Amino acid sequence: MARTLREAVARGHLPEGGRLPGHRALAGALGVSRNTLVAALAQLESEGYVQARGRSGTRVVTPPLAAPGAPPPLPLSAWARRALAGGVADSGGEFEFDFRAGQPVPELYPARAWAQALARRAGAPTPHAALRDPLGPLDTRRALCAFLNAERGARVTPDMLLLTGGTQSSLDALARVFLEEGRLAVTEDPTYPSARAALAASGAEVQGVRVDGGGLVPSELPARATLLYLTPGCQYPTTAALSAARRQAVLGWARGCGAFILEDDYAADLHFLGRAPAVMQGQAPGEVILLGSFSKSLAPVTRSGFVAAPPEVTELLARTRPLTDRVPGVLDALALADVLASGAYSRHLRGVRQMLAHRAEVLLTALAEHLPAWPVVPARAGLHLYVPLPGEAQASETVRRAAHAGVGLSAGDGGAPSVLLAFAHLSPETLRRGVRRLAQALA
């Protein structure tokens, strides 16, 4: 009732200074009780829309309106300005053939095993300790330890694991506790744009180090730094793997300058040609902080990620986490424990890897046939192919011409002009038709 009368005043249906009918008459006209009307008028009087004047009745008062014009700028903090400056825009739009990176791949998700684990955990009492543990439920950390040590060659114990909402959440937490103005963070160049943005938002300087066909070039690392963000198993976006010699060189550099290596193992479970190389964390658990997520291989809605770090680092993160975050969804975490411990996740991945290998091969074959001048880099893992553009071609113009023909591409970030073509979410026939359309658009 108060809302109805308020809108009538605001829209001018009840004019300024107008006298409202008596309570009984107005209540009858509006079809409400007198008590309801009296309560509504009292609310409106407190808000300044009406004024009771004794025997003169209740009269309408139109509240003064704010002067027209643009609202004042938001009082952004320095962190917000840096975050917005480094933000990664989402290239919107719908395409008939969408090769843009970051597409969901329903076939990657073990839907049945995940649903069963969720139902089982939802129907059982949740241990009180699981709700309060700042590192995440112990059951999940134990299952994750067993998986990482057996499958990824890691050297972790439950007290070295902190569950997070995903790799981006992990990066933000680590940047907050280790970076500030005057410090240096290092990334590969090119690299994952959102990772660079998270590090830069801290106020630290972020320096890129060149990547070639063998991954990051260790000889070009700076003399000192606080953090190095690295994707050694499958470099993003080039998909190169860091060789054993380069890994040793990077570890020697980190020990020499006291830097932590943030190892993002983002594509390990999606390694479809051969076995994924063991993580660097297993070689140097004191210098390497391992970051991982199940958002691509399990389901993006779970937001299940982790940090594997020296115990003093996980303790630091656990103590500072309550200021910005809480333990991620406990039910999801407990379901993850069951999916890992039962072996359902590993069994599912075997079929997924065969699918990825087939679709990658289909895309490579189609590109070789229709765009033979493109020097496509064959991938051993991940969900996309990396293509350095030939000659004088520019990524932005290539993306624009493709989009005009209904083909979505992602431009490479940093390094030489390049584009990314995601393949995992598209059927083989769609991949072939999409490449034919792309070739026609660029002819």
Q: Does some domain include residue 431? A: yes
- Domain of 248: which CATH number? 3.40.640.10
Q: Does some domain include residue 137? A: yes
Rounded CA separation 290/355 (Å) = 27
Instruction: Please say if the pLDDT value at position 314 is more than 90.
Output: yes
Residues 16 and 142 in one domain: no
Q: In the prediction, which pLDDT does 349 show?
A: 86
Asked if residue 345 lies in contact with residue 150, where contact means CB atoms within 8 angstroms, the answer is no
Comparing CA positions, the residue from 374, 284, 294 lying closest to residue 99 is 374
Q: How many beta carbons lie within 10 A of that of residue 443, not counting itself?
A: 8
- Rounded to an integer, the average pLDDT of 317-344 is 87
Judged by average pLDDT, the poorest of 8-12, 120-124, 262-266, 330-334 is 8-12
Torsional class of 307: left (φ above 0), alpha (ψ -120 to 50), beta (otherwise): beta
Q: What is the 3-state secondary structure (H, E, C) of 13-66?
A: CCCCCCECCCHHHHHHHHCCCHHHHHHHHHHHHHHCCEEECHHHCEEECCCCCC
Asked if residue 235 lies in contact with residue 215, where contact means CB atoms within 8 angstroms, the answer is yes
Compute the C-alpha angle 195/201/204, nearest 5°: 95
Residues 130 and 6 in one domain: no
Distance of CA 198 to CAs 182, 228, 325, 361, 371, Å?
Answer: 16, 13, 16, 34, 36
Strand order across the 260-264 sheet: 161-164, 305-308, 288-293, 260-264, 227-230, 184-189, 205-212, 215-216
Q: In the prediction, which pLDDT does 329 show?
A: 81
- pLDDT band of residue 83 (cuts 50, 70, 90) is confident
Q: In the prediction, which pLDDT does 299 show?
A: 63
Instruction: Please say if the pLDDT value at position 54 is more than 70.
Output: yes
Structure tokens at 427: 């059927």
Residues 136 and 267 in one domain: yes
pLDDT tens-digit series, residues 234-249:
999 999 999 999 999 9
Task: Give me the numbers of helices (H) and strands (E) for the chain, helices first please.
Answer: 15, 15
Rounded CA separation 417/330 (Å) = 43
Task: Count up the domains in the chain and report the number.
Answer: 3
Q: In the prediction, which pLDDT does 312 show?
A: 97
- pLDDT band of residue 274 (cuts 50, 70, 90) is confident
Q: Does some domain include residue 70? A: no
Q: Does some domain include residue 71? A: no
Note down the domain range covering 279. 111-346
Residues 118 and 178 in one domain: yes
Q: In the prediction, which pLDDT does 419 show?
A: 95
Last residue of a domain, one of 295, 311, 346: 346
Residues 206 and 271 in one domain: yes
Considering only residues 295 and 74, tell me which one the structure prediction assigns the higher pLDDT: 74
- pLDDT band of residue 256 (cuts 50, 70, 90) is very high
Q: In the prediction, which pLDDT does 252 show?
A: 97
Residue with tokens 């890994």: 247
- Domain of 367: which CATH number? 3.90.1150.10
Residues 246 and 306 in one domain: yes
Last residue of a domain, one of 299, 330, 346: 346
- pLDDT band of residue 223 (cuts 50, 70, 90) is very high
- pLDDT band of residue 67 (cuts 50, 70, 90) is low
Considering only residues 102 and 11, tell me which one the structure prediction assigns the higher pLDDT: 102
Residues 243 and 276 in one domain: yes
Q: How many beta carbons lie within 10 A of that of residue 82, not counting itself?
A: 18
Last residue of a domain, one of 301, 329, 346: 346
Residues 267 and 384 in one domain: no
Residues 172 and 307 in one domain: yes
- pLDDT band of residue 395 (cuts 50, 70, 90) is very high
Instruction: Please say if the pLDDT value at position 72 is more than 80.
Output: yes
- Rounded to an integer, the average pLDDT of 40-65 is 80
